[in-house]
Amino acid sequence: MLTAVICILLLVISAVLTFYYAAYGALVAFLGLCVAAMLPGVAPGVAVFIFWGVAVAVVIALGFILPRAVTSSRVGVPYIVLASLAGMLVGLALSHAAMIIGSVVGALLGGVAFARTPAGRSLAFPSSRFWNYLCAKGFPVVISYAITGTAIPVVVQWLTR
C-alpha cells in the first residue's frame, strides 16, 4: 500500500511541477511510473520504460539546449498545461493511444486559446514564433502527462485487485 501511495504522490507532484518547469514534471512522472512497476502483480513491459525513459531524456536535453528566455518564460503555460491535462483525462477513458493523442491535441488547443487572448497576441498566431514556443512548452507537458496517463491504469489495476 505504501508503494501505491508514493506512486500517487509522485504523479500529483508531477502534475503540479508541469506548471513551473515541465522537464522536472516529466522526470517525476517517470519516477512515478517506475514506482508503479514495483506494485505486486502488475508490471508494464520493459519497452514502456525504455520508450518513456528516452522521451524524458529528450525533454531534459531540450531544457538545456533551448535559450534561457524560452525555458524560463511562463507565458501561456497554464492554458497549455490545463488543456493537455484535460485531453489526457478524456483520452484515458478511451485507450492508451487516445490518451496520448488527447494530450497532444489539448496542448495544441491550449496554445491556440492563449494566443487568441490579448496577452497572447505577442505570439502572433499562426506565425513560426507561435509554433516554436508551443513546441518548446507543449512537448515537455505532453510527455509528462502521457507518462502520468500510462501510470494511472497500472495503479488503478493494482487498487482494484
For residue range 17-74, what is the model confidence (pLDDT) as tens digits? Answer: 988 888 889 999 999 998 988 888 777 788 888 999 999 999 999 888 888 877 777 8
* 4-8, 88-92, 103-107: segment of lowest average pLDDT: 4-8
As a whole number of Å, the CA-based R_g of the chain is 16
Judge whether 35 and 6 are in contact, CB under 8 Å.
Answer: yes
Cα–Cα distance measured from residue 137 to residue 124, given in angstroms and rounded to the nearest whole number? 16
DSSP state of 117: S
Range of the domain at 113: 2-159
Identify the H or E element spanning 142. Answer: helix 128-159
What pLDDT is recorded for position 131?
A: 83
Cα–Cα distance measured from residue 122 to residue 35, given in angstroms and rounded to the nearest whole number? 41
Give me 117's grid cell.
487572448
Judge whether 66 and 123 are in contact, CB under 8 Å.
Answer: no
For residue range 91-149, what is the model confidence (pLDDT) as tens digits? Answer: 999 998 999 999 999 999 998 888 888 887 877 778 777 788 888 888 999 999 999 99
What pLDDT is recorded for position 56?
A: 93
Q: What are phi and psi of 91, to 5 degrees?
A: -65, -30
Tally of domains within the chain: 1
Cα–Cα distance measured from residue 126 to residue 124, given in angstroms and rounded to the nearest whole number? 6
Cα–Cα distance measured from residue 68 to residue 80, given in angstroms and rounded to the nearest whole number? 19
My answer on whether omega of the bond before 67 falls inside 30° of 0, hence cis, is no
Give me 67's grid cell.
535559450
